[in-house]
A and B are shown apart, each in its own frame.
Chain A
Amino acid sequence: MGEVELSCLAYAKMYLHASQFPRCSVNGLLLSSSPAGAAVCITDCVPLLHSHLSLAPITQLALTQVDAWCSQTQQRIVGYYQANACVSDSSPTPCALKIAEKIFEQCNNAVLLMIDGEKMFPGCRVPPIVMYERKDARWTLKDKHTIMLRQWEETCSIVNQLFSSGDQTLLVDFDSHLDDITKDWTNQKLNAKIMELISPANGNV
């Protein structure tokens, strides 16, 4: 299977999402604005739920809406992420596998990303993520060497800056949007803030 590149924007928002609901399981979708090819470039993510992940209606609703938004913005859904409430267990739940399977139906190099809660402390030198790909009809662990996080140090620093400026509270997930529909689950405001922090660094992050 090909390479997977995870952008700073996608990583930062996933991390913020998991941090915002430390005692809940959270999940979301991974998006790409790059054309389909051998490699997968995860350029953005949409945080979805922090409650009742395994119940169908809201998940279906969210998938449909994100799909609609993606077609309007030339993006594709290329994967799914989840952080389990129980930090010592970062294995994919049946619900994670189900949703990843659905995404795989539309995207044949879809990835399933589990956030490893035990590695989510500041100063941790290893990205707190575990990636799975679909091989021989099963979701198997992806070779770490095929996963790229460009400019990891800068990404960590940007995440820290978001926390110290208090901007991490800007993150809206789909669940929060349903509680108050004036909140924007596409996170335009937060995206802009993150892009501002990224731009001094050179090249794509």
Chain B
Amino acid sequence: MLSVSEMLKMRDKLRKWREENYRNSEQIVDVGEELLNEHASKLGDDIWIIYEQVMIAALDCSRDDLAWTFRFDAILNDANKLYDSILQDDPTNTAARKRKISILRAQGKSSEAIRELNEYLEQFVGDQEAWHELSELYINEHDYAKAAFCLEELMMTNPHNHLYCEQYAEVKYTQGGLENLELARKYFAQALKLNNRNMRALFGLYMSASHIAASPKVSAKVKKDNMKYGAWAASQISRAYQMAGRGKKENKCSVKAVEEMLESMQITMS
């Protein structure tokens, strides 16, 4: 039997794994099972989220089960009914509402999920998790303009979060065109300022600067500036890979691939 403080620690661990999307299914089952068996009454509203988390993890582990996809669907439907009944009793239960939207997403019903999430956000405009979920949904649907809008909301309320900056930059880069590329480069740079070890931002800066410099539509000054940014990014990338490759035989291949890529892009830029 766990003490109350141990139980709280376990519950927090499960929350951390949920939020950070850890795939440690076996651990989740171990921790979650004990929590649900011994302490269900003390978990409050969290119980439904934990229940779902543990069931999904258990499915991931139970590889001996033949038709796991059918069970998964059945469990989703059961979970949906559960959440419906919760919302009947308590229509303000935001956790249940969001879990229903996650179920829609898992079932591939993206447009419904998007619609529900938009409605939800009209009421709960400060819900970061929901804004991020919506941006992911829009990205999957190739609606980059709306994804950018969601990320702009997130950047406004979380100006120090390098991941939002970097994702925003990626969306802008994907939208394409000179103006978007310049925005992308600025936001990749911003992400790097916030976290100078964000490799995606570093590569993103390198690629956007290189593409701008290679464009026939830019002035000589813009070309020169972007070549400078690109060269700086390239040297940072090189350095990072040299350090990563030190003494490790196994990533020699990735190091060599990066070096060749940097060389070949140098040629196209000049």
Contacts and interface: CB of A to CB of B under 8 A. Distances in A.
Interface of A: 20-23, 25, 52, 54-58, 60-61, 64-66, 68-69, 71-73, 85-89, 94-95, 117-118, 121-123, 163, 177-179, 181-186, 188-189
A57 B204 contact: yes
Contacts of B90: none
Contacts of B67: 121
Most buried by A among B68, B69, B254, B264: B254
Given A68-B260, A72-B260, A23 B139 contact: no
Nearest to A118: B69
Given A21-B23, A121-B65, A61 B251 contact: no
Interface of B: 23, 56, 60, 63-69, 72-73, 106-108, 136, 139-140, 142, 167, 169-171, 173-174, 176, 184, 199-200, 203-204, 207-208, 240-241, 244, 248, 250-251, 253-254, 256-258, 260-261, 264-265
Contacts of B136: 52
Tell me whether chain B's interface is mostly helix, strand or loop, or mixed. helix
Nearest to A178: B199
A182 B256 contact: no
Contact of A181 (B140, B240, B264): B240
A85 B113 CA distance: 15
Contacts of B72: 87
Contacts of A55: 139, 170-171, 173-174
26 contacts: A20-B23, A23-B106, A56-B173, A57-B170, A61-B203, A61-B207, A64-B264, A66-B257, A68-B261, A69-B254, A69-B256, A69-B257, A72-B253, A73-B253, A86-B108, A89-B108, A94-B142, A118-B69, A121-B66, A122-B64, A163-B63, A177-B254, A178-B199, A181-B241, A188-B250, A189-B250
A182 B142 contact: no
B225 to A, nearest CB: 20
A68 B72 CA distance: 41
Contact of A122 (B63, B251, B254): B63
B254 A60 contact: no
Contacts of B264: 64, 68
Given A95-B142, A121-B63, 11 more contacts: A23-B106, A54-B142, A56-B170, A56-B176, A57-B200, A68-B264, A69-B256, A71-B260, A86-B108, A121-B69, A182-B248
Nearest to B205: A57
